[in-house]
Amino acid sequence: MSIHEVFMPALSSTMTEGKIVSWVKSPGDKVEKGETVVVVESDKADMDVETFYEGYLAHIIVQAGESAAVGSAIAYVAETEAEIEAAKSLVNSGSTAATAPAPEKVPATAGVGASTATTHNGNGSNHKEGRLVASPRARKLAKELKVDLTSLKGSGPYGRIVAEDVEAIVNKGKPAAPTTPAPTVAPVVQPPAPAVAAAAPALVPAATSAVPGQIVPLTTLQNAVVRGMVASLAVPVFRVGYTITTDGLDKLYKQIKSKGVTMTALLAKAVAVTLQKHPLLNASYSDQGIVYHSDINISVAVAMDDGGLITPVLRNADMVDIYSLSRNWKSLVDRARAKQLQPDEYNSGTFTLSNLGMFGVDTFDAILPPGQGSILAIGAARPQLVATSDGLFGVHQQMQVNITCDHRIIYGAHAAAFLQDLSKLIETNAQSLTL
């Protein structure tokens, strides 16, 4: 007789507990090895969790909406129907009763965080041919709209069905609404303000509906941000500000935004290209010494509309062309809204951008993310009366940037030299960002 515990898996390196979003299987249901049984909300995403065992979901210990620490049991899987009642008795007795078989624990090498579950992480390592793979949001939408998921072809990684696939089949044959954008990558809609002022299409947090005097518990994502920010307080940092004229960058943006290029991608590209000359600014501290990263991955801070902050990552931003980079960014933001980012899409950054320019902010100090050496805060671009080198005056668009660096490995001269080269690129050679 064998009863197995399903553990709360560690879906990211910073995850200490997870929240059950929904159980895909109900008690008594047959489960196959590698089949999704539960959807878990980790620090920053909802992820499918699979079982290593074939048998029956005997008992659910942690219900939907409840949280559990990483490594704790959230359910029991029995190998046979006859063992279902024995599994229930483990919970009812509060311990492994002598008359009931002790649940087996899977070896630590069998799954993430030594749990009995593994995640479908979208990179193909856990993909199984012939098995239906759909995002939690797609499953929920399909249930509401009465769509058979088995009839759909997924457009996500490795054929994963996403919400857009469900919506597409429902809307098939219907006339498109006037507000529906035709292109796959829509150009950024600019408010009547300078181009750089809307550099990052951050999600603006929705107004809270909390009653005054009421205590609203933090979300899983907000708690993750809290832990990261508290950890950052232990790092000695310094800040350096710089003013950059953006006339050339604004002109380039106006020329190519109709092709789907975003200002976020342009800024990320400019920073990444500059980092090629300043690898120390792309490095991070460790107890063993300075970690020089092989890739330049630009994180961009995005405020989630239900609270918290996430940093989608534009990987190899120095090498990817500006058009592909813009498409990647749009995909990252869409999946961030749907809480469908995979861990390596938000925790693999080596340098971070934080932009509040769209709110008209002049300048601000950004908090250094854990595990990185630098973060660049970007303010709004404004028309300024500037004295030119020939002694005349002219009106130019200018923005203020402010870099925060880990002073254990980066010194003032390093940061200043980086900002000087970034300014030179943006002011005199912005067109090179399209090459």
Active site residues: 407
Residue 114, burial from CB neighbour count under 10 angstroms (0-12, 13-18, 19+): middle
- How far apart CA 339 and CA 46 sit, in angstroms, is 6
**Bridge partners of 77?**
4, 57
On the CB side of 205, CA atoms within 13 Å amount to: 12
On the CB side of 4, CA atoms within 13 Å amount to: 21
Reduced to 3 states (helix: H, G, I; strand: E, B; else coil), residue 80 is coil
Looking at residue 283, its amino acid is A
Question: Which two structure tokens, joined as six digits, stand for 264?
Answer: 């976020």
Polymer length in residues for the chain: 435
Spatial contact of 123 and 90, defined as CB atoms under 8 Å apart: no
Helices (H), 197-259: 220-232, 247-256
Reduced to 3 states (helix: H, G, I; strand: E, B; else coil), residue 73 is strand
Residue 141, burial from CB neighbour count under 10 angstroms (0-12, 13-18, 19+): buried
Spatial contact of 135 and 161, defined as CB atoms under 8 Å apart: yes
Nearest to 201 by CA among 369, 406, 418, 356: 356
Spatial contact of 263 and 196, defined as CB atoms under 8 Å apart: yes
- How far apart CA 381 and CA 423 sit, in angstroms, is 14
Question: Which two structure tokens, joined as six digits, stand for 377?
Answer: 């805060």
Q: For residue 33, give the DSSP letter.
A: T
Looking at residue 326, its amino acid is S
Dihedral angle at the C-alpha atoms of 330, 224, 69, 40, nearest 10 degrees? -20
Q: Write down the residue that tokens 């007795």 correspond to.
A: 93
